[in-house]
Structure 1
Amino acid sequence: MGQDTRRGYARGMKSTVHWGVAHGLPTLFLQRAAARGDLQARLIRVGSLGSDDEVFGLIEEIRSKGPLYRSSIGHVATSHSSVRHLLTSDDFRSGPPTDEGLLGRIGRWAAPDALHPVKPPSLLVTEPPDHTRYRKLVTRVFTMRAVERLRERTEEIAAGLLDDLEPRATSSVDLVEAYCAQLPVTVIAEILGVPDAERFKVLDFGSAAAPSLDLGLGLRRYRSTSAALARFDAWLGDHLEHLRREPGDNLLSQLVAVREDGAGLSESELKATAGLVLAAGFETTVNLLGNGIALLHDHPDERARVVADPTLWTNVVEEALRLDPPVLLTGRMALRDTEVAGQRVRAGSMVTAILGGANRDPEVFDDPLRFDVGRANARDHIAFSAGRHHCLGAQLARMEGEVGLRAIWDRFPDLRLDPGARRRETRILRGFETLPATLRP
């Protein structure tokens, strides 16, 4: 057996071991817990492939157990107040639990080296002071003023994509592939200096790596996701090196320059931050656009209200984010013994925050299951999380959502969704994998 063969065998063995610890064993546990009626396990098992009735029906069943449901996995928060408390309290940190036992040590030994969205130094799972330092370096590109400067360019991109769809307007097209994905990836690629010829790679990486946030992946999906992350890691290293040689007027060039001055991010921190901004900068917006198109299609009376009063488009985005958020849930770990909704939570316990539950809390939103484009407090949703991990790109996503939804419905007011829409096979991100439509029926 040659050296390369032995190395390949060792990598394959470690990959299988890591899958077993991180996904295989948890899947068996979830299966058994779900069979016993555990509502959180059932929700995880159903995932985003479940119908709206299945997914949100389970969330409402969990809500009926009180503001903090105790499952065999941990705790689940569904009320608006408990979710907001969980996301803003210093008693909790982001990221998965740290297992110091044998399985935890095995998992860390077998874990792949490539960057991962829920592995340090990702912004998603770091805490101050590192989180403060990373975030400060990238917030300047996502300020309200900076985003508004991008609005005109985003409108141009949307118009160009719709021009390209005109010749196909009388036949069925997949709006996710042809529009919902293309608009945000083009915007974020321009912000981050990705050449036109490379943008398809970013799309491929994003769709392939999206399941990396989930628990309970099958071995085949785990391997394809890990391979996509490894390719993304390698590509990102090459892209950053290119920007060192030929810097441009974009965020990544600025971050690279700061690092070169010795005051910025280390190489691993730079890659993790750039990778997250690149992926998160379009993946969730794809979901927002698809979910928003579907909601407007299914509620023609509400769509007519927006046609009559175009000032409502901003609120359409907020109501779509509230009713069908691009991120269904997130998790936090208790750093110390504390309380949530008056219930004790022990240090080391995991608490899942159901963003989709908080956004449908009848204590905050009247008739919460209704899609209401004029809802006065629609912006009180927590679709972008809260606290120090509030979404960096929230203003950008809002602007792209408003521009993208308005542009397609203005151009194709008779748009009809066709049979065959399919949700993504992800449990945390919630959106459409395919959304076929005829633009001019």
Structure 2
Amino acid sequence: MIATISPDELGTPEVIADPFPAYAALRDASPLRYPRVRADKTNAHSESSYAWALMRHADIMSALRDPAAFSSNTPLAFKATAYFPLIHDDPPRHTQIRRVINKSLSPARVAEMSGWIGQLVDEMLDAAGPGPIEFMQGYAFPLPIRVMAKILGLPDSDHAAFKSWSEAYVSYASMPAEERARKLLEMAHYLPQAIAERRARPTGDLISIITEAEVDGKSLSDEHMSGLVSVVIFAASETTTNLIGNLLGLLADRPELWWQMRADRSLVDPVIEEALRYQAPLQRKLRLTTRPVRVGETEIGPGELVDLCYGAANRDPAVFEDPETFRPGRPDVAQLISFGHGIHYCPGAMLSRIEVRLTVNALLDRYASLERGDSPAERQRAAPLAFGYRTLPLVFR
């Protein structure tokens, strides 16, 4: 039975922690307007904002295919939201900046990296042991950040700071304003120094590529270089971390699937793809309308915020048969949009899948079974754009 829920609840901690009942209850009413961020009375600089939530797969795909009408330049709608290259860019600038990132994340380059990523996975799992382990802090948080630090050319020893900055970026609605400002200021001081060092002594890493890149025949400004490096850090920290955690949580509740994968490794990739559909690490993506648009029977005016609810689209019964069931190997999984679509398809999607695949196979090599730890897992309840665990106690045997 589908629960009754108000659109006003979409931004609440309870729905952030488990959005899927809300999607099922509200999908037929999509698009619907809801309070995306509530003003903080203790912070004079905070502001409330409303957005239209799109929850049907077809509507979200239409919006992703029309960046001219559904712009990524959402900072235009806020007084105090920072602009980040690539995330907030539209064509043609987005296309040019994406080429810069693709130089380090092309399929050939990512395939070359798989060897040392596998070594890092083995090193971290050896250090973690069978547990009991709090898997998020012990593995899922640091692995993607350490991989991306290597690609960027940043010190591995600084990965904890990178994660802290990423949390400050995504927790715009919950983290105390002073704490968030302090962490983002730390990042603002750190990155220009790293960029200046690489400009003076290029080493072929991604930061070196960024310092040498040109857009419209001009080098990127120092501010835009720092912003682009920040985007890469944020993406690595949130998407892959949450995918790893969500997948291990699903497997901990399905021991028979663990045994099947140990016996037949061809099942690993279908299980990863179904985890991406069933519990998408990125739940919502914000857009800003540039002109009046019609979505279904609803007219949305220009200058309106629109949340593309990826997690709802991935469970749309109009596209996915029996969408509330975790079913690896389903033929319709190709329609998932967890990494986006079109020009904004995540350039790190292949890298993320490789990190997860290497992790799962290494764990299957080591352990006959997986189960949850004694203390309960805890979902993050602060950032509406993400779906993942804050803590995930596990035991491997």
Residues 415 and 313 (structure 1 numbering): CA distance in 2 closer, same or farther, change over 3 Å? same
Residues 437 and 71 (structure 1 numbering): CA distance in 2 closer, same or farther, change over 3 Å? closer
Select 1:136's aligned residue among 79, 94, 99.
99
Identical-pair percentage: 27
> Aligned partners of 2:182 and 2:235: how far apart in 1?
19
> Aligned partners of 2:192 and 2:14: how far apart in 1?
33
> Aligned partners of 2:69 and 2:31: how far apart in 1?
16
Q: Residue 407 in 1 paired to residue 385 in 2?
A: no
Q: Residue 435 in 1 paired to residue 387 in 2?
A: no
> Aligned partners of 2:122 and 2:258: how far apart in 1?
20
Q: Residue 127 in 1 paired to residue 90 in 2?
A: yes
SS in 2 for 1:177: helix
- Count of residue pairs brought into register by the alignment: 376
Q: Residue 420 in 1 paired to residue 376 in 2?
A: yes
Q: Residue 187 in 1 paired to residue 150 in 2?
A: no
Which residue number in structure 2 is paired with residue 209 of structure 1? 169
- Aligned pairs for 1:22-421 (under 5 A) are 39-46=6-13, 50=17, 52=18, 55-65=19-29, 67-71=30-34, 73-89=50-66, 90-96=68-74, 98-99=76-77, 107=79, 111=80, 119-166=82-129, 169=130, 171-212=131-172, 216-217=173-174, 221-258=176-213, 263-418=218-373, 419-421=375-377
Residues 208 and 121 (structure 1 numbering): CA distance in 2 closer, same or farther, change over 3 Å? closer
Task: Supply the RMSD in Å over aligned alpha carbons.
Answer: 2.3
SS in 1 for 2:12: helix
Structure 2: unaligned runs, 5 residues or longer = 36-49
Structure 1: unaligned runs, 5 residues or longer = 1-36, 112-117
SS in 1 for 2:112: helix
Residues 335 and 271 (structure 1 numbering): CA distance in 2 closer, same or farther, change over 3 Å? same
Which residue number in structure 2 is paired with residue 6 of structure 1? none
**Which is worse superposed, 408-417 or 379-388?**
408-417
SS in 2 for 1:377: helix
Residues 74 and 177 (structure 1 numbering): CA distance in 2 closer, same or farther, change over 3 Å? closer
> Aligned partners of 2:259 and 2:319: how far apart in 1?
26
- The question of whether the paired residues in 1 share the 8 Å contact of 2:314 and 2:337 is answered with yes
Residues 258 and 76 (structure 1 numbering): CA distance in 2 closer, same or farther, change over 3 Å? closer
TM-score by length of 2: 0.88
- The question of whether the paired residues in 1 share the 8 Å contact of 2:258 and 2:369 is answered with no
Question: What is the one-letter code of the residue matched to 2:137?
Answer: E
Question: What is the one-letter code of the residue matched to 2:8?
Answer: A
SS in 2 for 1:249: coil
Q: From the two aligned structures, give the one with the greater helix fraction.
A: 1
Please state how far the C-alpha of 1:263 moved relative to its aligned partner: 4.0
Please state how far the C-alpha of 1:80 moved relative to its aligned partner: 1.0
> Aligned partners of 1:207 and 1:334: how far apart in 2?
27
- The question of whether the paired residues in 2 share the 8 Å contact of 1:87 and 1:332 is answered with no
- The question of whether the paired residues in 2 share the 8 Å contact of 1:299 and 1:371 is answered with no
**Which is worse superposed, 361-370 or 408-417?**
408-417
